[in-house]
Every structure is written in C-alpha cells, then in structure tokens.
Structure 1
Amino acid sequence: MGVLDGAALAVDAETVRAAIDREVVLVAVADDRVLGACVLDGREITTIAVRRARRDQGIGTALVEAAGEHHTGNDDPLVARFDAPVRPFYEALGFTIEPADEPGRFRGRRD
C-alpha cells in the first residue's frame, strides 16, 4: 500500500486486499523492498505504481509485461485507464490510446 499511496493513487486498501485474495496483484521486489505494484481486474490494469526513486528503471514496464502474461491462454487485450501524464508510458509499451469518457482520462488497449 505504501507504493500505491506514495503515487497518490485513488485506490483504497480494501480494494487492494480483495485483489490480493484473488491473486491479481503483481509486485516488483528487490532486497525485500517493494519497488512497484500492479493491480488487475481480469485483463484490465486498474492501478500501477512504482516508487518515485525507482522510476525510469524498467520496473513499470516489467509489471505491465507480467500483467500481459498473467492470464495465459486468454486472447483478450490488456487494457488500462489512466491520466494524461502517463500516456507516454502506455504508448511506449504499444498500447493504442483513445480518450476515455472522463475529461483528462484515456484508455489504452494492447492486443
């Protein structure tokens, strides 16, 4: 939760606990320290965060790649909804981007 809170994401602890119970939280760890986390709902990335000091080191990319492989055998695309500042991150990972219904938000899809 510290990584998600540090990223100022609007996700509550109960949502994360439920995702952990469903085994749909991916965590990047080094030296017993959580560096990043990705919460999934099926093939949708609902939350992803990396410690500020560890950004731009491939951790977020590795989490998205792991999310894409999480449900092997499922041909559905990987999707995400996100704010404008992280659009370049998703574009660099090959997501097709389009505006979402909410102002300033986008949705991405990667087949």
Structure 2
Amino acid sequence: MGQAKKRGSLEERIKQAQERQDNFYGINTSVEHIREELGLPEDAEPIGYVIHLPDQDEFVAEIIDTDMAFSVAYAKVPKMAKTYDEPELAIADAKKITKHKLLVCVLFESSEQYMINDIWANY
C-alpha cells in the first residue's frame, strides 16, 4: 500500500494508467478510407467524431468539467451527440469518463440513417 501512495492518489493513478494505454488504433485511417471500407452510400457525409457507449447504445451529448463538478449528459440518438472536429479532442474528453466502456467514432449521416465507425476504445 505504501508504494501506491507514493505514486499519487487513486484518481491520479487511474489517470496515469489511462494516459499510458491510449488505444488509438485508427490514427492512420482517413475518413475517406473508412467510407470505402464500410461501403457507405455516396451521400454519407462525415459529421465529426463522437463518444459512443456501446453497452448502453448511447452517445455523450454534453460534458461539464469545472473545478466544482464533472457531469456527463447522454443521448440515445446520434443526432444529439456532442461532435468534435478532431479525434484527439474526443479522446481527451473520453478519457475523463471512467465509469463506462467507450468508443470514439467517426459519425456519418446519409439521407437514410446515421452510421458510426470506431477509431479508439478505452477497453
């Protein structure tokens, strides 16, 4: 127990472990490559990057991170998801959420449906 205390609080040790385990397996994949691999329709447009909870089939809709509080709101539909322009920004927010299995995904919208493809996981 003394060794663990020397490395910091439980929260600090969890954060350090998460930073060491990045799991960003889609870093070299372009959005166009994902579109081709998935065989998405021509009208499927990339909307941005989203954080998806696969077990609950929900999306992160809002994150409030202040000195006083940390809260996350979730949405069932991808249209309500918080979108990011850069995957690194989505991953940085996803790393703050430690209670769930998470995927950072590219979100596509076509005339018929939304589609996601994961590029990062925290598990």
TM-score normalised by length of structure 1:
0.29
> Which of structures 1 and 2 has the larger relative contact order (alpha carbons within 8 angstroms, sep 6+)?
2
Q: Which has the higher helix share?
A: 1
Larger radius of gyration: 2
